[in-house]
Amino acid sequence: MTEIIDGNAVAQSIRDDLSTAIDQLADAGHTPTLATVLMSDDPASETYVSMKQSDCEEVGIEALDIDIDPEADASELYDTVSELNADESVNGILVQMPVPDHVSDRQVLRAIDPRKDVDGFHPENVGRLVAGDARYKPCTPHGIQKLIDSAGVDTEGKEAVVVGRSDIVGKPMANLLIQKAPGGNATTTVCHSRTEDLAEKTRSADILVAAAGVPEMIDGEMVAEGATVIDVGINRVDVSEQGSEGSQTESDEADTDKGYELVGDVEFESAKEKAGAITPVPGGVGPMTRAMLLYNTVKATGLQHDIDVDLS
Ligand code: GUN
């Protein structure tokens, strides 16, 4: 029987576990505080940010919700980030990506104080991750490590194949899988749009992470018998025309009844026939991305106040 990995349940247990650390911080007089900054009128981004806000409320993290007009000058965003960097009551800063074209995402990510960079996207944090000394593991790949572990799959010595080389998922995922650490020690291949004979590579995977942002590009023929299949894609496919409206790798669990449906990068039905364990879309990776953001915010608060919080 193929195990369907329940991301909602694993995310709930992560949130439950965070309560000990949040209580510890409260005893020391600190409420973890996350500032989300949205400079976009994209409905999907708006949904993602509002879900992150309500997650914070649920676990007792204070959430500051900052909206910037997408037409505003880039300086408005940089000034906001500077203010949040200087504000000692703010522990984590998340600028929702993508930002408008007239704003450099690279520059924005570098402007965030790396100690408050709960996405783990600042070059200092990327460098630390690669060096095996992660301060904040990026939320999606960290959540995937937890999902793989929850399915009772040991990554050590396994063949892992990551499809996609984004800065947000593919690259950090591969880095975590090769670390000499729990959840790592896998022999890891990264595939991308220029990979030749992709199916041959994916069929060699004991652990297959699909994060290319292409609807249902991985079908059952591309999956090895018994593989663990992690589907990171969240693609909005127009239900009337079956055309893709674009794709993101984010924590989208809403919006399914608005003229489109969400499909992953994996053709679930055929892949399920081959996989030993597989994540659904929605309800797989998405909730984990959000849970690990809460985790990083709590961790950040502990680090900033020199409190050794109890996080597993
Ligand atoms: N846009 C899509 N995914 C993410 C994410 O994990 N963090 C931020 N800040 N923006 C995103």
Tally the domains of the chain.
Answer: 2
CATH number at residue 48: 3.40.50.10860
85, 117, 149: which is the final residue of a domain? 117
Cα of 224 to ligand 1 centre, how many Å? Answer: 30
For residue 251, the ligand 1 atom closest to its alpha carbon is 3
58, 86, 117: which is the final residue of a domain? 117
Quote the pLDDT of residue 236: 86
Residues 154 and 264 in one domain: yes
39, 100 Cβ separation under 8 angstroms: yes
* Model pLDDT for residues 65-101, shown as the tens digit of each residue: 999 999 999 999 999 999 999 999 999 999 999 999 9
Residues 94 and 190 in one domain: no
Is position 107 annotated as part of the catalytic site?
A: no
* Model pLDDT for residues 96-151, shown as the tens digit of each residue: 999 999 999 999 999 999 999 999 999 999 999 999 999 999 999 999 999 999 99
Record the pTM: 0.94
Quote the pLDDT of residue 254: 45
CB neighbour list of residue 223: distance below 8 Å, 6 or more residues apart? 202, 203, 205, 208, 229, 271, 274, 275
Q: Name which of 122, 104, 108, 43 is nearest 296 in CA terms.
A: 122
CATH number at residue 210: 3.40.50.720
Is position 96 annotated as part of the catalytic site?
A: yes
Q: Which domain holds residue 73?
A: 28-117
Q: Name which of 6, 3, 4, 306 is nearest 146 in CA terms.
A: 6
**Does the CB atom of residue 99 touch ligand 1 within 6 A?**
no
**Does the CB atom of residue 118 touch ligand 1 within 6 A?**
no
Q: How confident is residue 196, by pLDDT bands cut at 50, 70 and 90?
A: very high
Residues 219 and 107 in one domain: no
